[in-house]
Amino acid sequence: MTRHDSLKPAAHRSLGRRSLLGLLGATPVAIGGAWALSGSAEAIGATGTTGAKPSPPGPGSSSVPVDLRPGGTFDQFLAQLAAADKFSGTMLVVHGGRTVLTRSFGMANKAKSIPNTIDTVYCLASVTKLFTAVAIAQLVQQGKLEYEGTLGTYVDGFPSAAADHVTIHQLLTHTAGMGDYHALDGYMTAAADWNSAQQVLSGTMDFIRKAPLDFTPGTGHQYSNSAYTVLGAIVQQVSGQSYYDYIPQHVFVPAGMTASAFHTRPQWQSDRRIAHPYADQSPGQPSGPRTDVVDQELFIGLPDGNAFATAPDMVRFARALLNGTLLDPAYIDLVVGAKVPAATLPAKPGLPAKAIYEAYGPGATLRNGKWAVGHNGGNAGIATLVEWYPSDWIAVKLTNYDPPETMAVDDKIQGILTQ
């Protein structure tokens, strides 16, 4: 599902990634059972390349679409974008336990001449919401939460319009009536002074509590960063652990995500492993100057965005979600199954029609009669995607350039794997 942050500077992120159609009614669709995986996450051992010549197809390459083979049209497309300085980051495509294509281009840190590689750690932007959604499902599985439970059951301080009527289901599916805390008056000014994880989460929640709902819960659809931050606060309250402790312990570690974390801004600035975000400061120009905007970010990410991971770690996460490592089978189905219609995109020349749904965290796109499920994210100097498809395919795109420059990558890989 394609959803991106606005392209305002990071310190001024505003309303949702894009405007989707209003809620069309809840239509649960059971698709989780299609995601049984056979490969091992530890089979991901490919070495990233930075503009290198493609390697020849490996054993079993006959099962790989021609367009996805090294040197194929997708590989050429990435190389062309990189040559035009429109792609800086890592692309990883796996089938079963085998890496089909891995490419890295551009610089993680231009000032220090550090290139992007398969081991580069990237800011994930809204892909982080997947971790929060899994944490919620784990607590539901344990009987500590209910999807139809109301907000006021789990956290205090909300007015009755929200506390008594907003449900976990609505928070997960962007139908609660909440918007984007970044756009609230005074938020970015206050957030600039926060220098601890606790300050960032509690301070953001204070702003969200005071914001009125944009519509009656359950009667509309609006992509909401605020809703997912609230979900993270619920995880913290119900589990008795800091959100920043819960996710590493219950998601990253069991999934084998050894390079994943919630890094602070000072760590982002200084750690050579982490890609800096380079934003185009003059949109619309043929090749505007790119500026490192890491200094404009919050002290630490929140449950709605800005955890960090490598591309192989994101494949490990997808496998752990789908193979039962993180959740029991019934709860996997609940998380990845389409629930709320969000948009129908008509066919265009060369592009088939797509129906887009909200699941419990991921977005689910029905294209050519096949499901593509996952999440993307974007902000100034950040564009990300993790998506999985039938027949054991997973694609991960992590970049440190602006979203519009790489959105065509998302559509192209989805089109190939849903043919």
Q: What is the pLDDT of residues 381-407, one digit of tens each?
A: 999 999 999 889 999 999 999 999 899
Q: Which of 97, 103, 109 is nearest to 397 (CA)?
A: 103
The 10s digit of each residue's pLDDT in 49-75 is 443 333 333 434 458 999 999 999 999
Residue 4 vs residue 359, higher pLDDT: 359
Predicted TM-score of the model (pTM): 0.88
Tokens of 132: 């929060």
For the cut 80, the answer to whether the pLDDT of residue 79 exceeds it is yes
Going by pLDDT thresholds of 50, 70 and 90, the confidence category of residue 20 is very low
Tokens of 79: 């190389």
Average pLDDT for the chain: 87
Going by pLDDT thresholds of 50, 70 and 90, the confidence category of residue 281 is confident
For the cut 50, the answer to whether the pLDDT of residue 357 exceeds it is yes
The DSSP annotation for 252-277 comes to: IHHHT-TT-B--BHHHHHH-TTBPPP
- How many whole angstroms separate alpha carbon 208 and alpha carbon 16? 15
C-alpha distances out from residue 294 to 82, 86, 265, 266, 338, Å: 22, 19, 7, 9, 35
Going by pLDDT thresholds of 50, 70 and 90, the confidence category of residue 283 is low
Are the beta carbons of 43 and 417 closer than 8 angstroms?
no
The 10s digit of each residue's pLDDT in 91-114 is 999 999 899 999 999 999 999 999
C-alpha distances out from residue 182 to 185, 235, 367, Å: 8, 21, 32
Amino acid identity for residue 286 in this structure: P
User: How far from chain centre, in Å, is Cα 250?
Assistant: 18
Quick one: 100-418 is in which CATH superfamily?
DD-peptidase/beta-lactamase superfamily (3.40.710.10)
